[in-house]
Amino acid sequence: MKVLIVVSHPRVDSLTFSVAHKFTQGLIDGGHETEVLDLHRSGFNPVLGEADEPDWSSDHKVYSPEVETEMERMKNHDALAYIFPVWWYSLPAMLKGYIDRVWNNGFAYGSNKLHHKQVLWLGLAADSKEGMEKRQYEKMMNQQLNIAIAGYCGILNSRVEILYNTLDSNSETQERLLT
């Protein structure tokens, strides 16, 4: 399987990138092909401008060259994985902007749906599992990512996985997060 791994974190020395490297290596060891897209280092602009605003009167819009490039990149993969820090109990703005611009009308929804077999949303949260469950944040993220985004775009096999307590500097906790 060919997997596109999209990573969103401003620092390459972050736990998010350590997890992304470990995840990528696991896929390679399993015989899969991977491509990693680092949204920050790639220079991706997350701001939705007029050129990429959905055109509700036509499903055949030509989007900006940057978005068309990312759409082509997605077409070359069977599955998607997004690895990101959980900020404000959601996606970071960079990743949300990527979804807004690239998962667009006529490509991801509307007359066409995404062809991908599955998507994994792998979030790293500073909060504990109990803290997120107490306020139903995990349920909210599952609803938003699995149903409102992936399901709406035709990906029925969508899963949210959260790594908790990621700010705990205890070496045992850090080792647990990377296994």
Q: How far apart are CA 47 and CA 177, in angstroms?
A: 32
pLDDT, mean of residues 150-178? 82
What distances in angstroms separate CA 151 from CA 34, 52, 97, one per listed residue? Answer: 23, 22, 18
pLDDT at 115: 97
Q: Per the structure block, which two tokens stand in for 76?
A: 């070359």
Find out whether 41 and 104 touch, Cβ atoms under 8 Å: no
Q: How far apart are CA 11 and CA 78, in angstroms?
A: 28
Q: Per the structure block, which two tokens stand in for 119?
A: 């998507």
Residue 46: which of 4, 2, 3, 84 has the closest Cα? 84
Tokens 């080792």 locate to 175
pLDDT at 51: 95
Q: What domains lie within the chain, and their CATH numbers?
A: 2-177 (3.40.50.360)
pLDDT at 179: 59
For the chain, the average pLDDT equals 94
pLDDT at 83: 98
pLDDT at 170: 61
pTM of the model as a whole: 0.93
pLDDT, mean of residues 119-129? 96
31 has a pLDDT exceeding 80: yes
Residue 168: pLDDT band (50, 70, 90) is confident
